[in-house]
A and B are shown apart, each in its own frame.
Chain A
């Protein structure tokens, strides 16, 4: 599956057109601050209206001119790897950070990331060792980052 196809461009154009029209409407209905007696040409919604209209126009042109990319796909890709990377990163950034202490959240994330991506290419006999190395690596990275930000930059960690 590729994202640089005519179909993908048309879907993007539709989304951008909706966004443009929404901005235009949002700018038009935005408070014009009559109580502050501002100049009518300086209303806060002016530029959003213009940008919304330009975005909608560009989206129409994109839809009309959508063509498949003649270039062959650059290298092979792994959707499994992408799914795994997105999943791990989202769980860490939106789930673990803020709920667990930063040290443990980071240690878990780094260890899981290192172990899961190397797992398929590791011989079954070597997998326990991989798990151990990944865990130690996770703890080391989490420790180093925590110390650097906590004591080096005086940041109250999440």
Chain B
């Protein structure tokens, strides 16, 4: 009850006319970014971070969260109308959204997607308010040994779950991210490592230039590489554009379950919205009475996917705020943005700024209301966004990729970093190396490095405490289980056992 009162107080403080103006433009921009295939939430948040230097702290965080929520929601537009997910988060949405659009129900599909996204985010916000404070307090018990394993666990689980068919490629991406974090001055003795004689590397690789390159420049190249997508033969969207209350009530169980699954997936480090959507979709299908309709235009399937991916957003912020470990790639950029604006996420946040979590929850609520209002009222307008020619949009995006990172430090070196990471990100992506573990590795590299060496110093070089302290032991068990679960013989044995159980 006390938490709800804190949340209500934060909400009341936040709602000012100027804040609503910022919510409006940033959410619309987020939906715009998410709607366009090729532009992702991570890219949107990274580019917008470069435009928030001069804003007040709370306004900056508010617009970044609105961009994040709007972009994840916006991806459903192109998934439904083009059968091309606007962001990877909406891949599951296309399975049922596009058949609905082909059947002349594009408007209603978008309405259901809007309602699902809004409700999913709300479920996630409730869990954020309930779970973040106790998790933050629990994190205060973490020492160097636990933080080291937390970083290892983050990279392993992210590599495992985002690697698709090959967990190994996920692990490699994670190790590459950690390797990138080794460049520059080390966090313990300030010794400069791997600068190759370039003074620009003394401070390390900036997260924002690297992210803008890996998600902005790489996406510009991907969009221009692929041939122009054909607008599907969707019948005129003259159908209903408001969701029926009866439909939402009928799927209340799916909404609640998908919201919780999405939030829990969000809490897992570096996994993200696409996995949240797929997991929710798979569980909804398993428990559905209309299982055979899934993939052919099921309302329930569409709601499950959209509720699941949107609930990941608040979920991903739970570890980001309390442990400084991002739950998704956009949350990783948000962590960098928080540092830029003088907020230090991590266990101390709960002591230093206990109200901040409630402020974030209030900001997410405003963003949710905005996607609900704009999503339902501007459904037809957003269809026009999909017709923006890419040869006009992409050079503007790239110009922002160049000037954005430059504006932070005013040095051309960061533009070169952006270009280097853009080329690397493009090649790795085409080779099916997932990007989230790379991002997570860059973020967690310093945490892993400092805490391993600090822990070894505390234990005088003895490795035993890394395995015998209770929380450390739990992390070790989770890491071993995660790696074992990815081994082909274990997967085959598990599949056989599952078939046998049926």
Q: B54 contacts which of A33, A77, A153 (Cβ < 8 Å)?
A: A153
Judge whether B179 and A89 touch: CB under 8 Å. Answer: no
The stretch from B56-64, B224-232, B279-287 touching chain A is B224-232
Distance to closest chain A CB from B63 (angstroms): 14
Greatest chain B CB density within 10 A among A23, A38, A47, A59 is at A47
Please name all residues of chain A whose beta carbon is closer than 8 Å to the beta carbon of B341 when the two chains form the complex.
none
Distance to closest chain B CB from A98 (angstroms): 5
Quick check: is A14 within 8 A (CB to CB) of the other chain?
A: no
Q: A109 contacts which of B54, B175, B399 (Cβ < 8 Å)?
A: B399
Please name all residues of chain B whose beta carbon is closer than 8 Å to the beta carbon of A33 when the two chains form the complex.
189, 191
Name 10 interchain pairs, CB-CB below 8 A, sorted by A: A41-B460, A47-B453, A51-B178, A55-B176, A62-B168, A78-B224, A110-B399, A113-B395, A155-B407, A156-B410
> What is the interface of chain B, defined by CB distance below 8 A to chain A?
51, 53-54, 168-169, 171-172, 175-176, 178-179, 182, 186, 188-189, 191, 193-194, 217, 220-221, 224-227, 229, 389-392, 394-396, 398-400, 402-403, 406-407, 410, 412, 415-416, 418-419, 422-423, 427, 430-432, 448-449, 452-454, 456-457, 460-461
Quick check: is A72 within 8 A (CB to CB) of the other chain?
A: no
- The chain A residue sitting closest to B428, CB to CB, is A12
> What is the interface of chain A, defined by CB distance below 8 A to chain B?
2-4, 8-9, 12, 16, 19, 23, 26, 30-31, 33, 36, 38-48, 51-52, 54-55, 58-59, 61-62, 65, 69, 75-79, 81-82, 84-86, 88-90, 92-94, 97-98, 102, 106, 109-110, 113-114, 117-118, 137-138, 141-142, 145, 148-149, 152-158
Please name all residues of chain B whose beta carbon is closer than 8 Å to the beta carbon of A76 when the two chains form the complex.
226-227
Judge whether B456 and A75 touch: CB under 8 Å. Answer: no
Distance to closest chain B CB from A24 (angstroms): 11
Q: A145 contacts which of B175, B394, B403, B457 (Cβ < 8 Å)?
A: B403
Please name all residues of chain A whose beta carbon is closer than 8 Å to the beta carbon of B461 when the two chains form the complex.
39-41
Q: How far is the CA of A12 from the CA of B430 in the complex (A)?
A: 12
Judge whether B396 and A110 touch: CB under 8 Å. Answer: yes
Please name all residues of chain A whose beta carbon is closer than 8 Å to the beta carbon of B416 when the two chains form the complex.
93-94
Please name all residues of chain A whose beta carbon is closer than 8 Å to the beta carbon of B407 when the two chains form the complex.
149, 153, 155
Please name all residues of chain B whose beta carbon is closer than 8 Å to the beta carbon of A152 when the two chains form the complex.
54
Judge whether B457 and A41 touch: CB under 8 Å. Answer: yes
Please name all residues of chain A whose beta carbon is closer than 8 Å to the beta carbon of B419 when the two chains form the complex.
89-90, 93-94
Please name all residues of chain B whose beta carbon is closer than 8 Å to the beta carbon of A45 when the two chains form the complex.
193
Q: Given A89-B398, A97-B412, A42 and B431 touching (CB < 8 A)?
A: no
Please name all residues of chain B whose beta carbon is closer than 8 Å to the beta carbon of A85 when the two chains form the complex.
220-221, 224-225, 394
Judge whether A51 and B172 touch: CB under 8 Å. Answer: no
Greatest chain A CB density within 10 A among B172, B227, B399, B422 is at B399
Please name all residues of chain A whose beta carbon is closer than 8 Å to the beta carbon of B418 when the two chains form the complex.
93
- The chain A residue sitting closest to B391, CB to CB, is A117
Distance to closest chain A CB from B357 (angstroms): 29
Judge whether B430 and A3 touch: CB under 8 Å. Answer: yes
Judge whether A8 and B431 touch: CB under 8 Å. Answer: yes
Judge whether A42 and B168 touch: CB under 8 Å. Answer: no
- The chain B residue sitting closest to A146, CB to CB, is B403
Q: Given A3-B430, A47-B448, A58-B168, A42 and B176 touching (CB < 8 A)?
A: no
Please name all residues of chain A whose beta carbon is closer than 8 Å to the beta carbon of B410 when the two chains form the complex.
155-156
Distance to closest chain A CB from B47 (angstroms): 12
Q: A59 contacts which of B172, B395, B403, B415 (Cβ < 8 Å)?
A: B172
Distance to closest chain B CB from A131 (angstroms): 13
> 17 other contacts beyond A3-B431, A106-B399, A114-B392, with CB at 8 A cut-off?
A16-B172, A19-B179, A33-B191, A44-B189, A65-B168, A75-B227, A77-B226, A77-B227, A82-B225, A86-B423, A89-B419, A113-B394, A137-B392, A145-B403, A149-B403, A149-B407, A158-B415
Q: Given A47-B453, A51-B178, A62-B172, A77 and B391 touching (CB < 8 A)?
A: no
- The chain B residue sitting closest to A41, CB to CB, is B456
Judge whether A153 and B194 touch: CB under 8 Å. Answer: no
Judge whether B452 and A46 touch: CB under 8 Å. Answer: yes
Judge whether A42 and B182 touch: CB under 8 Å. Answer: no
Judge whether A42 and B179 touch: CB under 8 Å. Answer: no
Q: How far is the CA of A155 from the CA of B172 in the complex (A)?
A: 38
Please name all residues of chain B whose beta carbon is closer than 8 Å to the beta carbon of A113 when the two chains form the complex.
391, 394-395, 398
Q: How far is the CA of A4 from the CA of B434 in the complex (A)?
A: 12
Q: B452 contacts which of A47, A94, A118, A158 (Cβ < 8 Å)?
A: A47
Q: B226 contacts which of A46, A75, A88, A137 (Cβ < 8 Å)?
A: A75
Judge whether A158 and B412 touch: CB under 8 Å. Answer: yes
Please name all residues of chain B whose beta carbon is closer than 8 Å to the beta carbon of A156 when the two chains form the complex.
410
Q: How far is the CA of A69 from the CA of B172 in the complex (A)?
A: 18
- The chain B residue sitting closest to A78, CB to CB, is B227
- The chain A residue sitting closest to B415, CB to CB, is A93
Q: How far is the CA of A41 from the CA of B465 in the complex (A)?
A: 14
Distance to closest chain A CB from B77 (angstroms): 19
Judge whether B389 and A118 touch: CB under 8 Å. Answer: yes
Judge whether B456 and A42 touch: CB under 8 Å. Answer: yes
